[in-house]
């Protein structure tokens, strides 16, 4: 028979990732992908209340990186709804603010660090937000291993780590290979939305806006975007950037419909 202590330990185990170098997919496209370093996790950063909420609700609302495609309809308990993946959801400020405005959309928030997921989970529970689920893991690996091709209506990457030192630029998530991977997971007409307040990173992205042929760059703003693009609130990292007079740059792409293009050529 399971004791309360054993049940709590099991709940913690299913939310934990092993430390050290994580799983990393080997792509054969010849494109550039972010390289992962070792992953270490800060401990003791959750409050007792956060721990209790995590133990109670994570088994239903969250999962960790695995070599298993997510059955979105089963997880959300509904079928035929648009699905968006947010990579690097942080503390979930934008995630929790946007989700109630797009209640018809399934939102999968991906984040490595448990304290951020705990804050988002708390917002989900307290706000009775039904359309958010969470995955703990690296965003590229989650896309590669857990998301089916051509299954997403949107991908969001808000204020990714800029890795400002030149020797760390290879760790930036916006790369030619990542854009190719994202495009492969988007349905035709699906939207990629990126935001950054780091000037050098914006220049980096500017060089890549047209690198993926299956993504049509729409710029910003895009009034006819089929998904919500208003982030609603100023996130913690965004606020810090604004305090330093940083300029926020936003980018939108749409997955091309190859069938329509072929039809148009005839």
**Distance from the first to the final alpha carbon of the chain:** 67
104 is in an annotated binding site: no
Q: Is 86 annotated as a binding residue?
A: yes
121 token code pair: 């989970």
Query: Is 9 annotated as contributing to ligand binding?
Result: no
138 marked among binding-site residues = yes
Determine if residue 71 is labeled as part of a ligand binding site.
Answer: no
Any known ligand binding at 265?
no
Q: Which residues are catalytic?
A: 161
Tell me how far apart the alpha carbons of residues 193 and 154 are, in angstroms, rounded to a whole number.
Answer: 8
Pairing of strands 215-217, 249-255: antiparallel
Q: What is the spatial distance between Cα 38 and Cα 29, in angstroms, rounded to a whole number?
A: 24
CB 62 within 8 A of CB 136: yes
- Chain-centre distance for alpha carbon 59: 19
Residue 218 marked as a ligand binder? no
Dihedrals phi, psi of 251, to nearest 5 degrees = -135, 140
Interatomic CA distance for residues 27 and 33, integer angstroms:
8
Structure tokens at 198: 């780091």
261 in a labelled binding site:
no
Task: Report CA-CA distances (Å) from 157 to 57, 77, 120, 192.
Answer: 25, 25, 16, 8
**Is 161 labelled as part of a ligand binding site?**
yes
- Two tokens, residue 150: 């051509």
Q: Is 3 within any annotated ligand binding site? A: no
The span from the CA of 12 to the CA of 54, in Å, is 8
Binding residues for S-adenosyl-L-methionine: 86, 111, 138, 161
Binding residues: 86, 111, 138, 161, 165, 197, 235-238
Binding residues for substrate: 165, 197, 235-238
């Amino acid at each position: 028979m399971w004791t309360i202590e054993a049940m709590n330990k099991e709940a913690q185990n299913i939310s934990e990732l092993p430390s050290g170098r994580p799983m990393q997919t080997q792509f054969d496209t010849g494109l550039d992908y972010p390289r992962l370093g070792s992953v270490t996790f800060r401990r003791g950063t959750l409050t007792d209340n956060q721990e209790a909420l995590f133990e109670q609700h994570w088994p239903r609302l969250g999962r960790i990186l695995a070599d298993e495609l997510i059955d979105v309809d089963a997880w959300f308990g509904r079928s035929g709804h648009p699905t968006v993946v947010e990579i690097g959801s942080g503390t979930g400020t934008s995630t929790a603010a946007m989700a109630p405005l797009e209640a018809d959309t399934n939102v999968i928030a991906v984040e490595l660090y448990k304290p951020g997921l705990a804050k988002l989970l708390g917002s989900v529970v307290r706000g009775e937000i039904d359309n958010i689920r969470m995955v703990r893991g690296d965003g590229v690996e989650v896309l590669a291993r857990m998301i089916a091709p051509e299954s997403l209506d949107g991908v969001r990457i808000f204020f990714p780590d800029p890795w400002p030192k030149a020797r760390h630029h290879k760790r930036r998530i916006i790369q030619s290979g990542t854009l190719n991977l994202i495009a492969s997971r988007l349905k035709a007409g699906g939207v990629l939305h990126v935001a950054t307040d780091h000037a050098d990173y914006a220049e980096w992205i500017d060089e890549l806006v047209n690198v993926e042929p299956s993504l049509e760059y729409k710029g910003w703003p895009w009034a006819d975007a089929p998904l919500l693009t208003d982030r609603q609130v100023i996130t913690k990292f965004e606020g810090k950037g604004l305090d330093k007079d940083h300029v926020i740059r936003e980018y939108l792409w749409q997955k091309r419909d190859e069938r329509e293009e072929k039809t148009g050529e005839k």
